[in-house]
Copies of this chain bind each other. A is one copy, B any other.
Amino acid sequence: MTQSKTDPRVLRTRKLIMDSFIELSAKKEFKDITIKDITTEAMINRATFYYHFEDIYDLLEKALSEVLLVNLNFDVYQNNELNEEAFISIFIAITNFQKGLSTRCHRGYEDTIARIIREQLEIIFYKMLVKQNTTKDDEALKTVAVILSWGIYGASIEWRRNGMTVPPEEFIKPAIPYLMNGIHS
């Protein structure tokens, strides 16, 4: 229990389940995916599924979080400072992630997915803010992270709603200077 997050069996099993889920998502709608389908594909027992996940919605949440986090980390941990470039690559990562979600799958779970994306954004913004601000006002940083995450997520929605008529970097770039004012330590 204390080291359940690092036991190789746990990591391996979770990976197998998540990979199978993503695999199946490409073939079926979310509502038609059964837990037995997933465990069969993953070659693990159904009881083991419940050892790791509450239910299939819990899996959806964790799987998407992970995929998204991998995307974000890959882009952001390179220039790990919250400058214009970082904003742009985060925004592009989000839009790519949303493009990658087959609209056929997960229909009816847009709000769940939205929440997941926003939460992950919030986590990453908060981490980066803490890294470059020496202030002790932690609550302030948290609030900034909330605002930025809602803002960037909303921008991605609007960009799609407008028909993606301009490249994402062009869409977000003009707004960045206004955001950056309050960010520098």
Give how many copies assemble into the complex.
2
* Secondary structure of the A contact surface, majority rule: helix
Complex Cα gap A8–B15 (Å): 17
A11 at the interface (CB under 8 A from B): yes
Chain B residues contacting A8 (CB-CB under 8 Å) are 43-45
A12 at the interface (CB under 8 A from B): yes
Chain B residues contacting A45 (CB-CB under 8 Å) are 8
Closest chain B residue, CB of each to CB of A40: B8
Closest chain B residue, CB of each to CB of A43: B12
Q: Which of A24-55 contact B (CB under 8 A)?
A: 43-45
Bitwise interface map of A from 1 to 16 toward B, beta carbon under 8 Å scored 1, else 0: 0000000100110010
A130 CB, min distance to chain B CBs, angstroms: 32
Complex Cα gap A12–B40 (Å): 11
A135 CB, min distance to chain B CBs, angstroms: 42
Closest chain B residue, CB of each to CB of A42: B12
Q: Which of A76-123 contact B (CB under 8 A)?
A: none
Complex Cα gap A45–B12 (Å): 11
Complex Cα gap A44–B12 (Å): 8
A67 CB, min distance to chain B CBs, angstroms: 19
Complex Cα gap A15–B12 (Å): 13
Complex Cα gap A44–B43 (Å): 15
Closest chain B residue, CB of each to CB of A12: B43
A→B interface (CB under 8 Å): 8, 11-12, 15, 43-45
* CB-CB nearest 7 A-B residue pairs: A12-B43, A8-B43, A8-B45, A11-B43, A8-B44, A12-B44, A15-B43
